[in-house]
A and B are shown apart, each in its own frame.
Chain A
């Protein structure tokens, strides 16, 4: 069938042309059809296939299908559908086109079979998504977007250099297991690390996601980091370093999330925490762990998307997103509240919600493989994620003290998108076999047994008890209008300050040299005049010439200094 030849990104790139349709509803309906048709095409694909071509002497595989790629293919189509539905009311065509190209680039990266194709889509992800940040239209969003673009493009360049080293080493560009060996291994690892928001490389995420438009963030939350998790799962499974990086990623953001005021930034930190679980699972590398990592990526796209949608709805309706300005919205936004609570329960891995059935795979794998301290760290992070994403987000937005805002629930399309996402979160929680069937590796696992359910429920309820106690005892830190320093300080404050300082030092040095030069010139002129007079008299010309050369050299040196 000819459609099978059409790679999954193509419908999205072609779909971006739909923004030319003048009628708003017609345009949005047509855009909504793109992921639907794409998903149907995906379902017709054979489970294993690849398309190869030769380009400039390179063997390329622009299109490769297997079970791992298909899993991400399905969830990217679903995420694109939900995000387009959520943004149905948006009239900004730049955002609409950027959203489609961005989703298409995510698919392109997932189905790429060689490193050059991967690089191309890697960069397209960056260049298309930045428009979703810029579309906010504020000066702050513009500056943040620029920084986001620089960091993302840098990740691409490092990936390309790594790919070239890989080519030199292996004589092929096939994108499969790479591992941490040699220059290429480390370069590609760092490139992935940037997009995966590894510690100290993570601030693009916490900066840009809260600055994008309410609908833009829903797109952003789905593709970039999950494409990176996919690539990591394919090329670095079982790399032990990832276990420690992942465990650190699950722990450090939750401290920032507790004291952060911007609720979408809280979600951005919690996103790093969730990616940490995936990275850790990939590092452990057993079938159970890898399946857990990719299943958690699948679920995270849905529940994190749902939470970003709920917070986007709050921002869209009230114009505010700081915890210090919100509260009591459950009275006038009851539907959004319920959807947010479903998302919160899912991310917290409550039994019967989606997070539970994927996170417990990773936790069990960590215990099975003897990573006991890592397991404790993950357990700490599980309690922590419930604390900030499960309780803090809904509590400060919809409950807490009544801020007196009386905004209604958002438009129907936003509610519909949240409804579908919430339904799937519960559906996967109730019937995990549906998700497990899509996982790339064979495993036998039952999430619902007494041990898992009881342990997780106790962990969560007593975390909630801690929240209640801390609140009643007035120990819980209040939401404050503030900025918290993170690693971004290094390039937003320290580096500019150092550059300013060095510019000032260079300027001073220049002034010094030029004044010295100005004083030197008359002296040298005088010396030359004296010498000419001497040469006219008795001394031989050749000797004078030599002295002149020496002095001229001295002058030249003085000026050039």
Chain B
């Protein structure tokens, strides 16, 4: 994950690309491990190879897409509730 590197070299796109490549390899290895190692499963879905990987990826995409759509009707200006601040007496701050 690119988050883990702390050096300022993170600013250069080449470094970011290299870190991402390592990250992709780790993901691929994890997916492949599912085919090699046997997980003991309780639910039938769990038995699908790569279930957790696919589920995790799909969930996050769905989450973000829905959340983004929620913005269309939930988002208001930052000052939306500011009328509350005008009423009554001012407190000493």
Contacts and interface: CB of A to CB of B under 8 A. Distances in A.
Interface of A: 137-140, 142-143, 254-256, 258-259, 330-331, 334, 337-338, 341, 367-368, 372, 375-376, 379-380, 383-384, 387, 391, 394-395, 398-399, 402, 450-451, 454-470, 475-477, 480-486, 492-493
Contacts of B37: 450, 454
Interface of B: 1-4, 6, 8, 10-11, 20, 23-24, 26-27, 30-31, 33-34, 37-43, 45-46, 50, 52-61, 63-68, 70-71, 73-78, 80-81, 84-85, 90-91, 93
A234 B9 CA distance: 52
Contact of A466 (B3, B38, B57): B57
A139 B53 contact: no
B63 A461 contact: no
B60 A384 contact: yes
Contacts of A367: 42-43
B53 to A, nearest CB: 4
Contacts of A341: 3-4
Nearest to B44: A372
B63 A258 contact: yes
Contact of A259 (B3, B61, B70): B70
B81 A483 contact: yes
B77 A259 contact: no
B78 A140 contact: no
Given A139-B91, A259-B74, A454-B33, A383 B85 contact: no
A256 B76 CA distance: 13
A383 B56 contact: yes
Pick the most buried of A255, A398, A458: most chain B CB atoms within 10 A of its CB.
A458
Contact of A459 (B20, B52, B67, B78): B52
Given A367-B43, A480-B71, 11 more contacts: A256-B70, A259-B68, A375-B43, A383-B56, A391-B3, A456-B52, A461-B26, A462-B56, A463-B60, A470-B61, A484-B75
Contacts of A480: 71, 75
Nearest to B46: A455
Contacts of B71: 259, 477, 480, 482, 484
17 contacts: A137-B93, A139-B91, A139-B93, A142-B93, A143-B84, A337-B6, A368-B42, A399-B10, A402-B11, A455-B39, A457-B30, A458-B50, A459-B53, A461-B30, A462-B60, A467-B60, A484-B74
A387 B60 contact: yes
A258 B67 contact: yes
Contacts of A456: 52
B43 A372 contact: yes
Nearest to B58: A466
B21 to A, nearest CB: 11
A483 B59 CA distance: 25
B4 to A, nearest CB: 7
Contacts of A454: 30, 33-34, 37, 39, 52
Nearest to B33: A454
B39 A450 contact: yes
B75 A259 contact: yes
B19 to A, nearest CB: 10
